Amino acid sequence: MGADENAELPDAEVRDATLSAAEFETKLAEKDARIAELEGEVARIAELEDKVAKLEAKIEQLLEKLGQNSSNSHLPPSSDGPGAGKNERKPKSKGKRKRGGQKGHRGAHRELLPPERVDEVIDLFPEVCLDCGVTLPQLVDDEPRRHQLLELEPSGPHVTEFRRHEVACSRCGGRTRVSCREAKIPASSFGPRLVAVVVMLTGVYLLLAPRHAGLQRGRSRNWQDTQTSRRRSATCI
């Protein structure tokens, strides 16, 4: 019996080898089919990508046409829709510079009248030293800060000059000058009466411009000739 069993072993091995080859052929066929399927999907994906690219280009063209109006294309204003607004300016980028006059810029100030044209002088002195708090004497400064106020009195133009003196402290050596706010110096160089007259004359001038063009000369004169301008304006009116 042992000899018969040994004789059958080669046939079993051949059968196993034959089955393995068949399975291999089947798997190989399945892989070929899968590869063909994937190749078809790749082709369809490429076709879809081409369609997407064309659609995106079309969308960009439509959006570009949608944003066109009479201000950025050759289209006439009548083609603008009802919601089209006026040309909008791009907001300016905020720079690093602060608002107002820059450092080193020469400010624009009214030229002060000479001393002989001043009717009243008010000297202003600091009461205490800002550094140590000691009481300061009222010493006249050779170069005080001058501020002039022009007002229209019943007798004519009146000029008041405020002089802010800088005083040196004998204890600490600090120099102090009274501020405009502490001295209650008006922010405007023109008094309320003068401003009221100018507003009245300006309003009358605007109403009577075709008939009284000569008022322009009285309006543009320097405040040194306020009285003369007032007389001319009254004559024209």
pTM for the predicted model, two decimal places: 0.43
The more confidently predicted of residues 5 and 44 is 44
Q: Do residues 18 and 26 make contact, with C-beta atoms less than 8 angstroms apart?
A: no
How would residue 175 be classed by pLDDT, with cut points 50, 70 and 90? very high
pLDDT (0 to 100) of residue 21: 78
**pLDDT tens-digit profile of 94-146?**
666 777 667 666 666 678 999 999 999 999 999 999 999 899 999 998 899 99
For the chain, domain boundaries = 17-69, 112-189, 190-237
What are the distances in angstroms from CA 167 to CA 131, 138, 145?
A: 12, 7, 12
pLDDT (0 to 100) of residue 168: 93
pLDDT at residue 203 is higher than 80: no
The more confidently predicted of residues 125 and 70 is 125
